[in-house]
A and B are shown apart, each in its own frame.
Chain A
Amino acid sequence: MGVSLPPVADQPRVFRRLRVGLARNGLRVALESGRLRFLSMIATSLVVAAFTGAVSWYLFRQLAVNNIPFKGAIVGGLFDLLFFTLGGMLVFSTGIILYASLYTAPEARYLLTTPARADHIFATKFQGAVAFSSWAFVVLGVPIFLAYGLTAGVPWYFYALLPVFLLGYVLLPGSVSAALCLLLVRYMPRNRRQFLLLVTLAAVLLAGVWLARVGMSIRKSIQTQGRELDDLIGQFDLVRSGLAPSHWMTRGVLAAARGDLPGAALPLALVWSNGLLVYVGAAALARRLYRPGFDRMSGLGRGKKLYGTSPLDRAMEFLVGYLDRPTRVLVVKDFRTFRRDPTQWGLLILFGVLMLIGASNFRGIYQGGFAVMDRYAISLMNLCGTAVLLCAGLSRFIYPLISLEGRKFWILGLTPVSRDQILWGKFAFAATGSLLIAEGLILFTDLLIGLPPEGLAIHALTLAVVALGLSGLNVGLGACLPNFKETDPSKIVVGFGGTVNMVAGLGFVVVVIALMVVPFHAAQLARGASNRPDAAVSPWVFAGLPVGLVLGAAAVVLPLRAGARSLRAVEF
């Protein structure tokens, strides 16, 4: 017989109060101490939303110009695809966030030692994960539908129903993702790595086959100048099926747009009822599986793993062979830390692969007879994408490096390495890695697209300036504005210094590209548009190159010098 038990709390209410308290205090702190960061987040979201809205408005206007019905099958197909894509993104993002907050977060470990019921912990974490992951959904989705509403001339209740539709739709992919996450953790085979590798390979294979079929269909419709679209439309049958929630959304939204309220109510009810049903199912799964899953998770990955040197370390040491030995050792140490953390390089690989797939698809399209001038536009887009990737990657991984040394600076402080050498070591590490990635990506994609040699040379030079300049900025500002108290790099990145660094980096990228590349591409596009492909290009097109080089040199030297001065003065 057990001892007498205390009463049971109204846990949903307790967790609701907790969330309100956390949100209120978080907002207060954001407004008091991180106003710049907070405002920059809001401003960025508004800019992205406004840009998405403007592009959508323009595209919807094109429908009107081409006399395509706003509430017909073509727009329906586009909406099907949009909802399906957004739903897919929500499945992945909610799953990843939920996994982290249920199984690896210190808060989960704490809550699991309290009498909080597993399904209540799940519910509170689920709401947080869905709110976080649907941020992009709101920023991208709402402006698209507002633009649609404005151009299509919809009744007022279209706007009133829109948030109800979107909110309901967030619930369904989020719940599916949560159920998958719980099942996967509980029943995943012991050999986690092998299993995940197999699943990833299967997913990539399926996506590859589908993309190839879509590519072939696009080519076919281009070759027949749009006469044979059946094949292409057929590739999207899944998202248009009556069982697909994305199609329920399309049916409902279009019905609301047509002013058919009863027609909108049924799909809306389908979206909400299915979303809630799957959510209740996921919560029931959580009640049974969350704690055993957590137990199982704690037991995984305890196998002994031997770490040693790798040929990659030796390659990195070779690449920075011009440095003295102690600095080389520091560079290899940073590189080793980087390569042993898959979350650090996973995104880089993903983006790189997407760029390569995109470039090879464009190449296929050229063979189908696209205008030559478009290759300049596409290669410029690739270059901008690579530069932004570098900016984001270096801000995330290089900027916090000096701050992260803070707590263990005594280790470096006791070695015969000066603080200047430490700084230069970080710069060499950042510059070597970013040069390799950026030049490799841009040269490969430009060659695939078939850019002429002068374009190739300008791209290579510009990205070298971007890579070196961003490396200097990140290492220099990282030393000038360090945060030695924080141990979590992601928190260092979103702090004041990280925000300043990100804004400075983006500004640098925009100016360098505008000076060094845009004039050349604009000239080529103008030449293509004027139907005079043999016309000579003005030498003024290259006038921005020396200015960009000077700017790049300044972005390396000035921040590093200031960073070295600051680092020499720091007391640990």
Chain B
Amino acid sequence: MIDIVEVTKRYGPKVAVQDLSLHVPAGELFAFLGPNGAGKTTTIKMLCGLLFPSSGTVSVGGFDLAARGDQARALIAYVPDQPFLYEKLTGREFLQFTADLYALPPDRARDKIAEVIDLFHLDEFVDDLTERYSHGMRQRTVFAAALVHDPRLLIADEPTVGLDPKSIRELKTLLRKLASGGMTIFLSTHTLDIAEELADRIGIIDRGRLIGCGTMDDLRRQASRDGTLEDLFMAITEEAAAEAAVTAEAKP
């Protein structure tokens, strides 16, 4: 579903992502980890078509986001860490707008809206203007809108921030269920236990480079040690940092 091929993204002189290649098949739940400023958000923005690679290609469902972005984005739903809602729309109106934008037929839209309202327990506030929502309510509404059109790829950036423990539990169950149903999920998070618990594969990015990618067993082999994802993450990122320091010193 996702094909990132030799992608480099520069912001002026700064290289945010370097030579990134990644393939995520349909139905996989992929967790994307990395320290702050590692290039996670830039990668996600390229996947959504918000940014374009300086070199290389990013494709979703076989559609190159630079050349056929509108088609690729029709397959994607994106849940950002700072959820956007129209302040002067109600939650229900926002869901309807999303359904309209993705061309859901009226009957199907009505059923799907009812389904996601039930799924995310929005019924108590869905007819209030979103300007009155708390962060958690906004996050749940944005998630509901993301799923209203049955996307093939769900990209979520820190999806659990602002959610209460019960909502987090429900979200984790839902994400696993969606992946089992064939939806590809690209999850960026700092919460390592969620990644460890949910992900089929995990990618670790640091200083714009993918320094580790695979299942927990693959990462254990790469780190040459056993332990939790936290242990492996620390080992792999520290090793990469040491290598980067050596490379920097070797440069004239």
B-binding residues in A (CB < 8 A) = 1-3, 5-11, 13-14, 17-18, 21-22, 25-26, 29, 106-107, 109-110, 112-117, 190, 291-292, 294-295, 298-300, 302-303
Contact = CB atoms under 8 A, between A and B. Distances in A.
Nearest to A304: B14
Interface string B1-39: 100000000111110000000000000000000000000
Given A25-B89, A190-B12, A5 B100 contact: no
A21 B89 CA distance: 7
A291 B71 contact: no
Interface of B: 1, 10-14, 45, 48-52, 61-63, 68-71, 73-76, 78, 80, 82, 84, 86, 88-90, 93, 97-98, 100-103, 129, 149, 152
Contacts of B97: 14, 17-18, 21
A463 B93 CA distance: 51
B88 A117 contact: no
Contacts of B149: 6
Given A7-B103, A9-B102, A113-B50, 19 more contacts: A2-B62, A2-B71, A5-B75, A6-B149, A9-B101, A25-B90, A26-B88, A29-B129, A107-B84, A109-B80, A113-B49, A113-B73, A113-B76, A113-B80, A291-B49, A298-B50, A298-B51, A300-B12, A302-B12
Contacts of A18: 86, 89, 97
A109 B50 contact: yes
Given A9-B102, A17-B97, A29-B88, A2 B61 contact: yes
A6 B68 CA distance: 14
Nearest to B105: A7
Given A14-B100, A302-B12, A5 B71 contact: yes
A299 B129 contact: no
Contacts of A11: 101
B48 A5 contact: no
Contacts of B12: 190, 299-300, 302-303
A3 B62 contact: yes
A13 B103 CA distance: 11
A283 B89 CA distance: 27
A6 B149 CA distance: 9
B101 A3 contact: no
A73 B173 CA distance: 78
Given A6-B149, A21-B93, A115-B74, A110 B84 contact: yes
Nearest to A30: B88
Contacts of A21: 88-89, 93, 97
A300 B14 CA distance: 11
Contacts of B51: 295, 298-299
A3 B75 contact: yes
A6 B73 contact: no
Contacts of A299: 10-12, 51
A114 B69 contact: no
A356 B241 CA distance: 58
Q: Nearest 7 pairs between A and B by C-beta?
A: A2-B62, A9-B103, A110-B84, A299-B11, A113-B48, A115-B74, A3-B61
A152 to B, nearest CB: 43
Nearest to B63: A2
Contacts of A300: 11-12
Given A5-B71, A302-B11, A116 B88 contact: no
A8 B104 CA distance: 9
B33 to A, nearest CB: 22
A413 B93 CA distance: 41
A106 B130 CA distance: 15
Contacts of A13: 100
A571 to B, nearest CB: 19
Nearest to B74: A115
A104 to B, nearest CB: 13
Nearest to A26: B88
A112 B65 CA distance: 12
Contacts of A1: 62
A10 B1 CA distance: 26
Q: Give the one of A29, A113, A295 with max B CB within 10 A.
A: A113
B130 to A, nearest CB: 10
Contacts of A116: 101
Contacts of B89: 18, 21-22, 25
A21 B86 CA distance: 10
Nearest to B65: A291
A160 to B, nearest CB: 34
Nearest to A1: B62
A84 B252 CA distance: 60
Contacts of A292: 52
Contacts of A298: 11, 45, 50-51
B134 to A, nearest CB: 11
Contacts of B98: 114
B50 A115 contact: no
A381 to B, nearest CB: 40
A38 to B, nearest CB: 14
13 contacts: A6-B75, A8-B103, A11-B101, A14-B101, A21-B88, A22-B86, A26-B88, A112-B48, A114-B73, A114-B101, A115-B101, A291-B49, A300-B12
B151 to A, nearest CB: 9
Contacts of A106: 82, 84
A107 B80 CA distance: 12
Contacts of B90: 25
A25 B129 contact: yes
A294 B51 CA distance: 8
A226 B163 CA distance: 75
Contacts of A2: 61-63, 68, 71
Contacts of A303: 12-13
A6 B102 CA distance: 8
Contacts of B101: 9, 11, 14, 114-116
A338 B80 CA distance: 30
Given A25-B89, A110-B84, A190-B12, A6 B48 contact: no
B199 to A, nearest CB: 22
Contacts of B10: 299
Contacts of B61: 2-3
A17 B73 CA distance: 21
B147 to A, nearest CB: 14
Contacts of B75: 3, 5-6
A5 B103 CA distance: 11
A219 B25 CA distance: 78
B231 to A, nearest CB: 33
A511 B10 CA distance: 58
Contacts of A295: 50-52
Contacts of A117: 70
